A and B are shown apart, each in its own frame.
Chain A
Amino acid sequence: MNILLAEDEPDIQLVTRIALEDEGHHVVVVDDGEAAVERAHAEPFDVVLLDVMMPRLDGFGACGQLKADPQTQHIPVIFLTARSQSFDVRDGLRLGAIGYIIKPFDVFTLADEIKALLTQSAMERGTNG
């Protein structure tokens, strides 16, 4: 998969990138929501992973912009967040994200969880089966 990761913590950037690259995926890392929106216009991605709390433009804002733009609205968005209160989840899903992965995540199952969320979303959108 071609994955775009927006995350402001350099440590988490590195760990997440290694975890996904070890599974054979290509990962592009950006530092905030604005950079994520910009990058998503420049090259094709299979999925965008967004941290929620980021400087300049946060994850919710970035998701909103991606979903509002016909050029990027088809890219599945998954939030990677330390938040675990239910109201956050609803906010994120209302914005058009296909799911949430809560930090701290297990680096060995991260890729599988992303794939599982993509399968479910594809089923609902009818591109599978």
Chain B
Amino acid sequence: MEHRDDGDTSTTTMTGPALDPLLRALVDASNDALLLLDSQGRAILINRRAKYFFGLAERDVIGRSAAQLRAMFTMIFEDGAAFDAWLTPLLASAEERAVREFRVLRAEPRLLQCFTAPVVDQQERLIGRLLVFRDITREREVERMKNEFVSLVSHELRTPLTSIRGALQLVLGRTGAGAPPVGATPVGAPHVGATPVGATHESPRLRVGATHESPRPSPLASLPPRTRELLAISLNNSERLIRLINDILDISKIEQGPISLRRVSLDPGELCRAAAQGVAAFASSRGITIDLVLPDELAPISADRDRALQVLTNLLSNAIKFSSAGQRVTLSAEAVHGAICFAVRDQGRGIAPEHHARIFERFQQIDSSSTRDVGGTGLGLAICKALVEEHGGRIWLDSATGKGATFAFTLPLATGARPTRPISLAMDQPTVLVADDNPIILEVMHDILEEAGYVVAEASGGAEALRLARLLQPALLTLDVMMPDLDGFDVIQVLRNDPVTRALPVLFVSAVPEHERGAALGGSGFLLKPFAPEALLDQVRQLIGQRVLRVLVVEDDNHVRPVLARLIERGGFLVAQAADGHAALEMLPQVQPNLILLDIRMPGMDGYEVLRRIKCDPAYQHIPVVVLTASDLGAAARQRVLDLGAALYLEKPIGSEELLAQIERILS
């Protein structure tokens, strides 16, 4: 066993019996299954655990050809073909390591985490490959049980809490307690009436103060003050418990994998107003004033409304909790490059810099004495961070002891919107992100694309391209292949593995014709340098198939209109709203809708007249108009609107699916 033919890599240099007994004992003692292959893919070592996992004896494995071994693996793993496809290309690599999970077919199936790394000799020559299999069946089972348990406990706790909170609320009346708002909108509930419609012009500083509800007289208004106080403590703490349960459920969901987001195009200003309204009662109960600082116009963001509201509400509640009576909390939103930056600023005691790094971790409360009276769960900021990052944004803290704190985060703009212009005014052309390390080429491409009407963003390297692609979510990325920091082929691999950028069309631009490699990595097109401007524009036009389409909803009913708008937004459209015919006509030049959804019965100018005027105007007569009206207008109405040039006449009732399908059909 002492003999080792150094350098001989082709034959059985390390067969089982030749191994030192001490080493053999160590290898067999491992709880992980080990399998060592030589450079030809033949097994030269298998440990006891591997034999047990795979149900094989040493003689089944050692000395078999690579083909026999592969055939054996195909039988052992549930998806043998996938295992083979995973391992085979790795065999020849002297560098690549990989980890993946495979299930073993046995009477009692096990889930194995397979790790593989190359084995090299002292001269760095490849002599084989090591495979390590770890049984993670139990680990997964425990995770699943934990999540199930959390969900079950949450349910069981909610039932008694419903009675406790409800009863206390009824006793104390509307003004009974000032706790942070609990929970967001219930699932399935519409956001009716939350959006002021049309071009509302808020003054830049809007103050949100007292509660908007009419005070409900408490049935026990004559409670002795002491009793009232004690009941209020009970109510506040029941609400704290509810928040804790909600947070634990959220954290549990976040741990289970990416949170699914229902992204729509949202007005950042409206979002801020809704969040401020939500915490208004809590703020006024603690004597805090909330200031809203919003520019007149902000471009729409692409975000899940409930989740974005949850982040804002959480940061506002925190700021209120850490403020003293008489202080102010400011919520602001502003456009930054490719995103909207939201900031919540307080005048509280601030947070020392040494705590900043840990503050977004779960169950981190900097000063337990200060949180006891305000009832934090210690999970809120961890949840905020996970939600913001899932959107492709980032969150940070700016604070010093005694100076107040500002929590800020970004959410990406909706695709195709101009970074500096709001939805109602945007002729939103798609954004093209151009990545090239050569400044002259950047400038040339920028000019060509901008002249053609695209919004252009520039990245001067691979890393910047990745960052901006995530932040801007452009309609197209043109990607230079040879860049010093990260080359284009590296960049696209990262993009394709990121849920935010997975579907982003990528046009490779290179002086070297590597069309096939580009396509294999998920490139959508390939343009050879040098190129004519027309060739670039042709490719860009072709690749930006999915433009963001705008729908103008014209409807006088204040309840129906926002519901319609949300419904259409769910289909991925940008929606502008008009409350009457005159407003609709005035909005046309700015909104430039791709489709108009028109009600017929409206006060002032009715739908027939709006339709007639649109179809008489050469600038707008091409826009398809869908008339959606109550069913009692009769057959004559249908004929009349179709004669006037409407694309389609729809009668309520109509399901949301059908309405979206009709809109998509007309626009396709």
Contact = CB atoms under 8 A, between A and B. Distances in A.
Interface in B158-182: 158-163, 165-167, 169-170, 174, 182
A100 B184 CA distance: 13
B297 interface: no
B84 interface: no
Given A12-B159, A22-B216, A82-B159, A106 B169 contact: yes
Contacts, number: 127
B563 A108 contact: no
A54 B563 CA distance: 32
B559 A119 contact: yes
A86 B190 CA distance: 16
A113 B189 contact: yes
Give the size range of A's interface with the partner.
35 or more
Interface size class of B (residues with CB under 8 A): 35 or more
B163 A106 contact: no
A49 to B, nearest CB: 13
A124 B166 CA distance: 32
B192 interface: yes
Interface string A98-120: 11111111111000010011011
A82 B167 CA distance: 17
Given A9-B163, A126-B654, A107 B188 contact: no
Contacts of B188: 89, 92-93, 98-100, 117
Contacts of B156: 82
A123 B167 contact: no
Nearest to B655: A124
Contact of A103 (B158, B170, B599): B158
B192 A116 contact: yes
Interface string B639-659: 000000000000111111000
Tell me which of B154, B188, B653 has the highest count of chain A C-beta atoms within 10 A of its own C-beta: B188
A15 B182 contact: no
B242 interface: yes
B307 to A, nearest CB: 13
B161 A129 contact: no
Contacts of A12: 159, 162-163, 166
A71 interface: no
A75 to B, nearest CB: 16
A86 B260 CA distance: 10
B560 A128 contact: yes
B432 to A, nearest CB: 36
B249 interface: yes
B651 A126 contact: yes
Contact of B186 (A99, A119, A124): A99
B632 to A, nearest CB: 9
Given A9-B159, A15-B163, A93-B188, A126 B183 contact: no
A126 B163 CA distance: 36
Contact of A102 (B174, B187, B630): B187
A64 B618 CA distance: 53
B8 interface: no
A116 B189 contact: yes
B631 interface: yes
Contacts of B560: 119, 123, 128-129
B559 A128 contact: yes
Interface in A83-103: 83-86, 89, 92-93, 98-103
A55 B161 CA distance: 20
Given A82-B155, A86-B187, A105 B162 contact: yes
Contacts of A101: 186, 189
B159 A15 contact: no
Given A108-B213, A120-B563, A123-B563, 20 more contacts: A11-B160, A19-B166, A19-B169, A22-B216, A82-B159, A84-B249, A100-B187, A101-B186, A101-B189, A104-B162, A104-B166, A105-B166, A107-B166, A108-B169, A113-B186, A116-B189, A119-B559, A128-B557, A129-B555, A129-B630
Interface of A: 9, 11-12, 14-16, 18-19, 22, 82-86, 89, 92-93, 98-108, 113, 116-117, 119-120, 123-129
Interface of B: 151, 154-156, 158-163, 165-167, 169-170, 174, 182-183, 186-190, 192-193, 213, 216, 242, 249, 260, 555, 557, 559-560, 563-564, 599, 630-631, 651-656
